[in-house]
Chains A and B, each alone.
Chain A
Amino acid sequence: MANALEYKDVAFSYGEGGFRMEHLNFSVAEGELVAVLGHNGSGKSTLARLANGLLTPDGGEISVFGTVLREKNLFDIRKQVGIVFQNPDSQAVASIVEDDVAFGAENVGLPRKEIGERIGYALRAVGMEEYRTATISRLSGGQKQRVAIAGVLALRPKIMILDEATAMLDPRGRREIAEVVKQLNEREGITVLLITHFMEEALLCSRAVVMNRGEIVMEDAPANIFRRGEELLTYQLALPRIGEIANRLRAGGMNVADALDVDTLAEEIAKCVS
């Protein structure tokens, strides 16, 4: 079966000098939840924007469920690949929640009754059905992002890309979004590409890739990626704090095994000191 998303030898640049993507090869199977990591400027957002034709590659091919993305099928592809961006305040197009969620569905010319049903479905899926007639500007950041996700969901996409969608949220908002994303992947079977700087979010995924200079340079189970500290540093990524503490303990002679969660590390330490 064809992959949900496939980049074949994709080249892209924003013009002379600066960022360049030369031979990007990357694929995502249907139903996967993949984390994309990388320092700012490594090409994560470019990867996202290429997936639904917001950017056009200079070379190579991008295909969505086996269909190669071309100018003439752009609108069909966009119905299948939705993107949620970083800023909760710049994605809303309407002032009332349901109008905003309806915007995409209206744009592709769905019948009115169907739009109503899809708004209901989308808001339920993100846990915002009580806010159907609420004013967006009065919502919290996490709620605004959930509305943005609902707007994408109303188009019933098969693939969803979150481009640092939690970067501007407080810790509570981040947890809300992580929860919603996990559910969409598990219950609705949506293939998700989660672009993030947060280890906790990457650990929810089944696979993680690290980008650097427009290339995929690491690919592994998220927990394994975060254990490869030396390598992460060469790609201008930091070792997660918990890994750093474990490293420092080892450097001081305490032989703790690597751990990415507090309880496991505490267990390791307890074994050594008592």
Chain B
Amino acid sequence: MRIVAEHLSYTYNAGTPFAAKALDDVSLTIEEGEFFGVIGQTGSGKSTFVQHLNGLLRTPSSLKRGKKKDGTVLTVGGFDLTDRKTDFRALRRQVGMVFQYPENQLFAETVFSDVAFGYKNFAEKKPEAGEVERAVRDAISVVGLDYERVKDMSPFELSGGQKRRAAIAGVIVTKPEILVLDEPAAGLDPLGKREVMALLHKLKESWCKTVVIVSHDMDEVAENCTRVAVFSEGKVQYVLPPAELFRRTEELLRLGLDIPLTAKLVRALGQRGVTVDCDFTAEDLVRKLLALGGDQC
């Protein structure tokens, strides 16, 4: 499923003195199969944007009868998110949303029932017991937890990284085609971060078709994403692959954003007269540097 947004705007508390424009004429397409990054400073509109993708935030035309469509386009596969008649429940089965610190949302007595909740909640009709068990077992296993060991444990007995995996299992249990995650690695220790990113790649290979992450960690974005959208003050400034985006160091810094370590190195080398053309993954940078004859040193 492809995600298409055209001329999408959103104002919080519209029509009140507290109105605040969070999205301003955003146009953006995310293709099926991408590992898409959304970056921008706090308050730039990136969370507002991703919350539209499963209908947590909606366009006015999808909420009020008789409200004219205004040229805004927002589609996810065959779902028209500007249309009141769209089956948003069915949409949510297809677009899984993992919030920041999803482990804070674990609530059930056992890991099994926590993960099963999402499945039952979004099921079209009441699922049979065997079907729930199969789905929960698959979801818990694919996130790298030992099903037999954890299924009867309280989610609160798990370690930090395990809790996050369990919370992700509770979202992917409906087998969504698109998985959206708001800062999936935040707050974890460095190895925990790597494990989560490795998990997302695994999920994209075997479980979901498209992964969209919101991130503040530019190294993470440079290493993992196929393309990146840069939000600033409610607008999309760029949509580019990391290899092109991180050449625009000065512009990104001006927007108050960080750049990945690889880009910082390329910049510092440039100031010393060494030009390197790389895609800003560490692997490629090292390869290019060695090819410059640095392996003779």
Contacts and interface: CB of A to CB of B under 8 A. Distances in A.
Bound pair (A, B): yes
Interface of A: 38-41, 86, 140-141, 164, 167-168, 170-173, 197, 236-238, 241-242, 244-245, 248-249, 252-256, 262-263, 265-267, 269-274
Given A141-B42, A164-B187, 4 more contacts: A167-B187, A172-B42, A273-B294, A274-B273
Interface stretch (B138-146, B168-176, B261-269): B261-269
10 contacts: A170-B42, A197-B190, A236-B189, A237-B190, A241-B282, A245-B261, A252-B295, A253-B297, A266-B268, A274-B273
A253 B191 contact: no
Nearest to A271: B297
Nearest to B272: A270
Given A253-B290, A262-B264, A40 B189 contact: yes
Q: Which 10 pairs between the two chains have the least Cβ-Cβ distance? A: A266-B268, A272-B297, A253-B295, A238-B190, A254-B294, A270-B272, A252-B290, A40-B160, A273-B292, A272-B294
Contact of A266 (B189, B192, B265): B265
Contact of B216 (A38, A171, A263, A265): A171
A173 B295 contact: no
B161 interface: yes
A238 B192 CA distance: 10
Given A40-B161, A172-B41, A237 B189 contact: yes
B206 interface: no
B216 A269 contact: no
B189 A39 contact: yes
Given A237-B190, A249-B294, A266-B269, A173 B286 contact: no
Contact of A269 (B42, B256, B274, B296): B274
Interface residues of B, number: 41
Contacts of B160: 40-41
Pick from A86, A170, A271 the residue with the most CB of B within 10 Å.
A170
Nearest to B257: A171
Contacts of B289: 249, 254, 269, 273
B203 interface: no
B258 A254 contact: no
B78 interface: no
B135 interface: no
B3 interface: no
Contact of A244 (B159, B282, B294): B282
A167 B282 CA distance: 24
A249 B290 contact: yes
A262 B190 contact: no
Contact of B261 (A168, A241, A269, A273): A241
A245 B285 contact: yes
A171 B264 CA distance: 15
A262 B263 CA distance: 10
A167 to B, nearest CB: 5
A173 B297 CA distance: 40
Given A262-B268, A269-B274, A167 B216 contact: no
A125 to B, nearest CB: 23
Nearest to A174: B216
Given A40-B188, A237-B191, A245 B282 contact: yes
Contacts of B295: 252-254
B219 interface: yes
A38 to B, nearest CB: 8
A86 B41 CA distance: 20
Contact of B297 (A40, A141, A255, A262): A255
B252 to A, nearest CB: 12
B71 interface: no
Contact of A267 (B42, B258, B272): B272
Nearest to A266: B268
Given A252-B286, A271-B297, A241 B192 contact: no
Contacts of B43: 140
Contacts of A252: 286, 290, 294-295
A202 B285 CA distance: 26
Contacts of A269: 265, 269, 274, 289, 294
B42 A140 contact: yes
Contacts of A167: 186-187
A142 B268 CA distance: 29
Contacts of A170: 41-42, 216
Interface in B245-297: 256, 258, 261-262, 264-265, 268-269, 271-274, 282-283, 285-286, 289-290, 292-297
B194 interface: yes
Given A170-B42, A266-B269, A248 B282 contact: yes
